[in-house]
Amino acid sequence: MTATTDGSTGATLPPRAAAASETADITTPAATAGVHEAAARATRRATDFLLSRQDAQGWWKGDLETNVTMDAEDLLLRQFLGISDEDTTRAAALFIRGEQREDGTWATFYGGPGELSTTIEAYVALRLAGDAPDAPHMARASEWIRAQGGIAASRVFTRIWLALFGWWKWEDLPELPPELIYFPKWVPLNIYDFGCWARQTIVPLTIVSAKRPVRPAPFPLDELHTDPAHPSPPRPLAPAASWDGAFQRIDKALHVYRKVAPRRLRRAAMNTAARWIIERQENDGCWGGIQPPAVYSVIALYLLGYDLEHPVMRAGLESLDRFAVWREDGARMIEACQSPVWDTCLATIALADAGVPADHPQLVKAADWMLGEQIVRPGDWSVRRPGLPPGGWAFEFHNDNYPDIDDTAEVVLALRRVRHHDPERVEKAIGRGVRWNLGMQSKNGAWGAFDVDNTSPFPNRLPFCDFGEVIDPPSADVTAHVVEMLAVEGLAHDPRTRRGIEWLLAEQEPSGAWFGRWGVNYVYGTGSVVPALVAAGLPGSHPAIRRAVAWLESVQNDDGGWGEDLRSYRYVKEWTGKGASTASQTAWALMALLAAGEKDSKAVERGIEWLAATQREDGSWDEPYFTGTGFPWDFSINYHLYRQVFPLTALGRYVHGEPFAGQRAAGRSSTGKPLAEAEAG
């Protein structure tokens, strides 16, 4: 079969699988027995591997790998604050060099194309580490950067970092006034119109934008401009009647306002923004449990006079050090975030579905740890839901301001799989979580990740926001996880659950797939939605389920696995459901097919065989490909535990059957209570 090529990148697409009609054949009993035996053996090995990776406190956490902008910006921050040290710089540079591609570029995901802003930041970081601009690897990078338009063509955030050192002019950047902090929540473009990750970044950046600091650059960057004499060519204005044109003209007006802004008002706005930042610092010193807001918050407070020994600053810098992963070769990688709650609930589900007893000490310890992580105080979400009692879970070790709906749903599903010694405590925690998730439903019946109705069309139009998602609209994957959780809790017929189901059915693509917001991509969305719909009572014969099954069978790879490249977010027609087979994506497809009643199909047999055949001797799988997302296409994630938890879940369900099927069929919740009595608050 001839592979096709995506002309925009030159990357070769994998051959398509056999037609759906060819893969849907029912397997023979003898073949099924052999596959079942291989699956059982792989399940045992994967179970032992995952159990061995649990922390003594009860949690699991895999590395969260993104791209070298995290490492480059860490070095730039240290240079700006004057706290660079030789060992850290050497280790970071070792990692950055190791990620460079043969053409001199750096990509944002494994096997992806070179990315301009990432390559610029990596290049500058290596210059700071002492790499000479005429060294072969540096010359290749600078030549490629110039060919793509140079620094002038990079994203705003990259040019902000360069402006801190005088490598770019502040006046050539979009204006972001600190007076934004005063906008009430009913005014367009108030800070709560932004997704929580963007909000936490924008508030400190208003201070940086107002201060416009410049630290002396240790070297020029003329080699990164197409024309060093004119590094910032004028950008064409969009038509005034368009939204882009309107916001460009608003930005010009804000540049004028900067010159006449009352000093007392601006000073007060910056101080208010600083209080907002400090109030949201977590107990571990970080902000939101993620690296970018922490970096910009430290810079903003530093510019307002907070010295590096101030408790807020000291705690913030110490928290950033905890994002560092030191590798055996001496390289130092920076995680953008850490995912212990997410990893722990997924690991618990995987082990339980693989047949580990519900009262196994390690599952009980995991449940204890998750119970201790429940957030019982209001956070920023309460701006939109002031009367809703708290009860969610966050993604990270410390992020009480921003629990998320996805983690909360999956933690509840995990806790339901554990037989805990204090069932009353578990019931109360689950009740709080269910009530909070129900209260976070958006008006269209679906759920976003962190906020309610975070769907304003304006933030994405700002000239400042040219990178990634800055709003948090409902998504199919999050909504599916909530619907599945509600069904397990006996709320499948609750009107709120039915609205979520109706939204999911309306969101199905013509192909039969669902878009994946937080995982790559249509395989993840479909792998999330089908089990949820089945859990909520839709039969495997439902037209939506049949279309999903047909689509999954049609995109199965020739080797029996499934894979989907990040390019499917940008080049939908060419890349949807296409990519090298991966353990996590194969598992997602299998989880959907098994839920749909396709256990005996040829597609499932081939998928299970692929997982069993690609498992390592120690029970793990290798997966260099990025199958998670922060922002679709713009910011990709390789969750190092995905390659373990999802294959184990799929194998376990193949060997032991679908979880909770018996309780649902009997009309009872997983605790044995009648469904009508299982409803939480």
Complete DSSP assignment for 60-113: ----EE--THHHHHHHHHHHHHT---HHHHHHHHHHHHHT--TTS--BSSTTPP
Query: Quick one: pLDDT at residue 30?
Result: 56
- pLDDT tens figures, 181-215: 999 999 999 999 999 999 999 999 999 999 999 99
Cβ atoms of residues 117 and 161 within 8 Å = no
Phi, psi (rounded to 5 degrees) for 457: -80, -10
Compute the average pLDDT of residues 156-178: 95
- Of 30-39, 67-76, 143-152, give the lowest mean pLDDT range: 30-39
Confidence label for 230 from pLDDT (cuts 50, 70 and 90): confident
Query: Quick one: pLDDT at residue 464?
Result: 79
CB-based burial, 190-227: b 16+ in 10 Å, e otherwise: bbbbbbbbbbbbbbbbbbbbbbeeeeeeeeebebbbbe
SS3 assignment, position 427: helix
Residues 520, 526, 529, 532, CA torsion sign = negative
Residues 476, 479, 481, 484, CA torsion sign = negative
Confidence label for 460 from pLDDT (cuts 50, 70 and 90): confident
SS3 assignment, position 231: coil
CA–CA distance, 659 with 665 (Å, rounded to integer) = 11
Rounded alpha-carbon distances, angstroms, from residue 111 to 16, 302, 556, 633: 19, 38, 20, 13
- Does 20 score more than 60 pLDDT? no
Q: Which residue has the higher pLDDT, 251 or 5?
A: 251
Confidence label for 461 from pLDDT (cuts 50, 70 and 90): confident
Rounded alpha-carbon distances, angstroms, from residue 422 to 57, 178, 364, 434, 478: 18, 49, 10, 19, 29
Query: Quick one: pLDDT at residue 4?
Result: 36
Query: Quick one: pLDDT at residue 661?
Result: 67
Residues 6+ apart with CB under 8 A from 292: 73, 197, 201, 336
Query: Quick one: pLDDT at residue 105?
Result: 98
Q: Is 406 labeled as catalytic in the residue annotation? A: yes
Max CA distance (Å), the chain:
82
Query: Quick one: pLDDT at residue 660?
Result: 77
Rounded alpha-carbon distances, angstroms, from residue 357 to 43, 123, 354, 418: 14, 51, 9, 8
Instruction: Give 3-state DSSP helix, strand, coil % of the chain, rounded to 5.
Output: 50, 5, 45
Q: Which of these is catalytic: 406, 472, 477, 565?
A: 406
Compute the average pLDDT of residues 316-344: 95
Cβ atoms of residues 535 and 492 within 8 Å = yes
* Nearest alpha carbon to residue 416 among 462, 377, 371: 371
Q: In whole angstroms, what separates CA 674 from the centre of its chain?
A: 36
CA–CA distance, 437 with 409 (Å, rounded to integer) = 7
- pLDDT tens figures, 526-560: 999 999 999 999 999 999 999 999 999 999 999 99
Compute the average pLDDT of residues 502-519: 98
CA–CA distance, 479 with 494 (Å, rounded to integer) = 15
- Record the tokens describing residue 258, joined without a space: 């900067």
Query: Quick one: pLDDT at residue 676?
Result: 36
- Does 669 score more than 70 pLDDT? no
> Where do the domains of the chain lie?
17-62+339-453+474-678, 65-229+239-334
CA–CA distance, 501 with 514 (Å, rounded to integer) = 13
CA–CA distance, 659 with 535 (Å, rounded to integer) = 9
Query: Quick one: pLDDT at residue 3?
Result: 37
- Does 311 score more than 60 pLDDT? yes
- Does 673 score more than 50 pLDDT? no
Compute the average pLDDT of residues 358-383: 97
Query: Quick one: pLDDT at residue 247?
Result: 82
Cβ atoms of residues 182 and 269 within 8 Å = yes
Query: Quick one: pLDDT at residue 7?
Result: 35
| Paired residues of 476 in beta bridges | none
CA–CA distance, 516 with 504 (Å, rounded to integer) = 12
The domain defined by 65-229+239-334 carries CATH number 1.50.10.20: yes
Query: Quick one: pLDDT at residue 239?
Result: 84
Compute the average pLDDT of residues 3-27: 39
Residues 607, 608, 613, 617, CA torsion sign = positive
Rounded alpha-carbon distances, angstroms, from residue 170 to 123, 387, 517, 586: 21, 42, 34, 47
CA–CA distance, 159 with 152 (Å, rounded to integer) = 8
Confidence label for 251 from pLDDT (cuts 50, 70 and 90): confident
The domain defined by 17-62+339-453+474-678 carries CATH number 1.50.10.20: yes
CA–CA distance, 562 with 553 (Å, rounded to integer) = 9
Compute the average pLDDT of residues 121-137: 97
Query: Quick one: pLDDT at residue 453?
Result: 97
* Nearest alpha carbon to residue 208 among 171, 160, 248: 160
- Does 93 score more than 80 pLDDT? yes
Q: Is the pTM of this model over 0.85?
A: yes
- Record the tokens describing residue 156, joined without a space: 């705003």
